[in-house]
Chain A
Amino acid sequence: MRLSFLNAERRTLMPVHRSRREPTVAELLLIILEGAWSIVVGLYVTFINFWRTKVTDRYPHRDPALNWQPRPGYRGDFALITDRETGKLRCIGCQQCQNICPDGCILVVPEGKGKERHPKEFYIDAGLCMYCGLCVEVCPADALTMTPDYETATDDPRKLVRDIDYLRERGMEYDEVLRVQ
């Protein structure tokens, strides 16, 4: 490029006058010329960027199929995985997720003893949740998982409380999504 003389080494093309002294006519001319030149340089950079690929998305006012897809392992909305063979939830109702949650936004009501133990109720308040993923990591049965779904905005805070039916449905929907670890 012909603009190579503007490299970083020549940082002071012209000393800036912040002194009380009025600049002479020659200095004033130089300042004006330098200001004009810096505008040219700035426009040159913006001109280069004019030809680069666009990065701005008109989300959500466009085709949803083009939406950004998170990588596997993204910590989005919750799901409870159903075991395909038995047709039951994998969750054993051990309440470890409830105990580790720093926000205290999980409530598990277990039922049954021993092998029969399963959750009767399972609530996650996604409005309180900070998506740290500790509950997913601590789960011994690999039952609780996080899906790549990030579009969880709603107009009613009560809709953010996930119950067991919602989580089961989500688990069926995202069954093929692999667990993070």
Chain B
Amino acid sequence: MTTETRTRTEELTINMGPQHPSTHGVLRLVVTLDGERVVQVIPDIGYLHSSMEKIAERLTYQQYLPYADRYDYLNAMGNELAYVMAVEKLLGIEPTPRCQFIRVMMAEMNRIASHLVYFATLGNDVGAVSVFLYCFREREAILDLFEAASGQRLLYHYLRIGGLRNDLPDDFCAGLGHFLSYFPSRIDEYDKLLTKNRIFRSRMEGVGHFSAEDALSYGVTGPCLRGCGTDYDIRRADPYCVYPQLDFTVPTFEECDAMARHLVRQEEMRQSVRILQQCLEMLPEGDVSVKVPRRIKPDPGEAYARVESPRGELGCYIVSDGSEKPYRLHWRAPSFYNLQAYPVMCKDAWVADLVAILGSVDIVLGDVDR
């Protein structure tokens, strides 16, 4: 008789969160463990629920715009872009070319800033603390540019229906050009610190395996889907603004693990730098705003606009009943869909991998709960 048959083991259910530092917000994970192996993970969400969709029904179209910043706070410009595009679709407004370019620039800068936060927090979670400091230093440079343009550092309220709040300040392009001149070398530094690091690779490679079929059936989008080798990006699949005029590649990796998702984001930052450089060259002169009536009353109907946020497909669906306020507004929040695939990724993982996998999914809890 061996020891295995004599020892009685039973599964243990523990809570991870809602105050755990690597849950990036307030997420509670109910984890069932068999020793060090994960048997089942159930994410418990809703701690940050702020009825973002219901609020829209009591506010006019202009008044809701600052709220759009607030639920996915790391991608405020992208949220504004989705909302503004949906309202403009309802109204049938076409923004000016300069406005379109500036919107794309803002969205891409915000993508870089969001991915930098991802790098920082992921490095912090798996034990590479110095990356946290360097990423936040670079992010600060982007936030300074945002502040120069919009007057706020995190929740910008910069885009407007039919245009922008104001044109770019004079020194904005020079500042952005300076940032783009040194930023690619900084990405190489993160590459050395993280991707070249033996410990980081051991923690990331081969964990959180997730096939492309699973990703598609769960509605996973963004870097998590492209890390499964599926070439799907809204900027290519359903181009908006001036993305058709820009030359960039959509990076994909075939490994389907946490490392692949990490590398997708690293490549995306390089592509964003390319897009920004092209935008700076091609930025046309002219007005940034078109005239819109002060009281926005779209005809009854519905509109859906989607953009590629740093986390995936971000959609905004508005139903208008002809009044000043939306009848119904719905956010297709990418983090929510990506999080529901998290239990599949954690199948047969070690308990120490939970943090690395959650970091590689890159959820924002404000986006999940909204």
> Measured between alpha carbons, how far is A80 from B107 in the docked complex, in Å?
34
Q: List 26 A-B contacts (CB under 8 A).
A: A3-B192, A6-B192, A6-B196, A11-B195, A13-B196, A16-B206, A31-B198, A38-B196, A38-B198, A38-B199, A45-B189, A55-B140, A73-B166, A73-B169, A74-B151, A74-B152, A75-B152, A100-B62, A130-B155, A131-B152, A132-B65, A132-B157, A133-B151, A134-B66, A137-B165, A180-B151
Contact A8 B188 (CB under 8 A): yes
Q: In the complex, what residues of B have CB within 8 A of residue A42's CB?
A: 128, 130, 192-193, 196-197
Q: In the complex, what residues of B have CB within 8 A of residue A34's CB?
A: 198
> Measured between alpha carbons, how far is A6 from B188 in the docked complex, in Å?
10
Min distance, Cβ A20 to any Cβ of chain B, angstroms: 12
Residue in B64, B202, B263 whose CB lies within 8 Å of A102:
B64
> Measured between alpha carbons, how far is A71 from B134 in the docked complex, in Å?
24
Q: In the complex, what residues of A have CB within 8 A of residue B169's CB?
A: 71, 73
Contact B62 A55 (CB under 8 A): no
Q: Mark A58-84, 1 if CB is under 8 A from B, else 0.
A: 000000000000110111000000000
B20 at the interface (CB under 8 A from A): no
Contact A38 B197 (CB under 8 A): yes
B137 at the interface (CB under 8 A from A): yes
Contact B63 A18 (CB under 8 A): no
Q: A34-B198, A38-B198, A74-B147 are in contact. Are A130 and B66 (CB under 8 A)?
A: yes
A24 at the interface (CB under 8 A from B): no
Q: Mark B290-304, 1 if CB is under 8 A from A, else 0.
A: 000000000000000
Q: A6-B192, A45-B189 are in contact. Are A133 and B157 (CB under 8 A)?
A: yes
Min distance, Cβ A40 to any Cβ of chain B, angstroms: 10
Contact B62 A73 (CB under 8 A): no
B148 at the interface (CB under 8 A from A): yes
Q: In the complex, what residues of B have CB within 8 A of residue A133's CB?
A: 151, 157, 165
Which residues of A1-40 have CB atoms within 8 Å of chain B's CB atoms? Answer: 3, 6, 8, 11, 13, 16, 18, 31, 34-35, 38
Q: In the complex, what residues of B have CB within 8 A of residue A8's CB?
A: 188, 191, 195
Which residues of B177-220 have CB atoms within 8 Å of chain A's CB atoms? Answer: 188-189, 191-193, 195-199, 201-202, 205-206
Most buried by A among B157, B169, B188: B157
Q: A132-B157, A133-B151 are in contact. Are A102 and B63 (CB under 8 A)?
A: yes
Where the two chains meet, the residues of B that have a C-beta atom closer than 8 Å to any C-beta of A are 59, 62-67, 70, 128, 130, 134, 137, 140, 147-148, 151-152, 155, 157, 165-166, 169, 188-189, 191-193, 195-199, 201-202, 205-206, 263
Contact A134 B62 (CB under 8 A): yes
Across the interface, name the chain A residue whose C-beta is closest to B55: A102
> Measured between alpha carbons, how far is A71 from B175 in the docked complex, in Å?
14
Q: In the complex, what residues of B have CB within 8 A of residue A181's CB?
A: 165-166
Across the interface, name the chain B residue whose C-beta is closest to A52: B137
Q: In the complex, what residues of A have CB within 8 A of residue B130's CB?
A: 42, 45-46, 49
Contact A18 B199 (CB under 8 A): no
> Measured between alpha carbons, how far is A133 from B62 in the docked complex, in Å?
12
> Measured between alpha carbons, how far is A55 from B64 in the docked complex, in Å?
36
> Measured between alpha carbons, how far is A38 from B191 in the docked complex, in Å?
11
A141 at the interface (CB under 8 A from B): no
Contact A102 B191 (CB under 8 A): no
Min distance, Cβ B237 to any Cβ of chain A, angstroms: 27
Q: In the complex, what residues of B have CB within 8 A of residue A102's CB?
A: 59, 63-64, 66-67
Where the two chains meet, the residues of A that have a C-beta atom closer than 8 Å to any C-beta of B are 3, 6, 8, 11, 13, 16, 18, 31, 34-35, 38, 41-42, 44-46, 48-49, 55, 70-71, 73-75, 100, 102, 130-134, 137, 146, 180-181
Most buried by B among A42, A55, A130, A180: A42
Min distance, Cβ A102 to any Cβ of chain B, angstroms: 4
Min distance, Cβ B7 to any Cβ of chain A, angstroms: 22
Q: In the complex, what residues of B have CB within 8 A of residue A132's CB?
A: 65-66, 157
Q: In the complex, what residues of B have CB within 8 A of residue A46's CB?
A: 130
> Measured between alpha carbons, how far is A121 from B348 in the docked complex, in Å?
65
Q: A31-B198, A102-B66, A132-B66 are in contact. List 16 more A-B contacts (CB 8 A).
A: A6-B192, A8-B188, A38-B199, A41-B193, A41-B196, A55-B140, A71-B147, A71-B151, A100-B63, A102-B64, A131-B155, A132-B157, A134-B63, A134-B66, A137-B165, A146-B151
Min distance, Cβ A54 to any Cβ of chain B, angstroms: 10
Across the interface, name the chain B residue whose C-beta is closest to A48: B189
The 4 closest A-B pairs by CB, nearest first: A132-B66, A35-B198, A102-B63, A38-B198
Contact B197 A16 (CB under 8 A): no
> Measured between alpha carbons, how far is A132 from B189 in the docked complex, in Å?
37
Contact B202 A16 (CB under 8 A): yes
Q: In the complex, what residues of B have CB within 8 A of residue A55's CB?
A: 137, 140
Across the interface, name the chain B residue whose C-beta is closest to A13: B196
Across the interface, name the chain A residue whose C-beta is closest to B270: A8
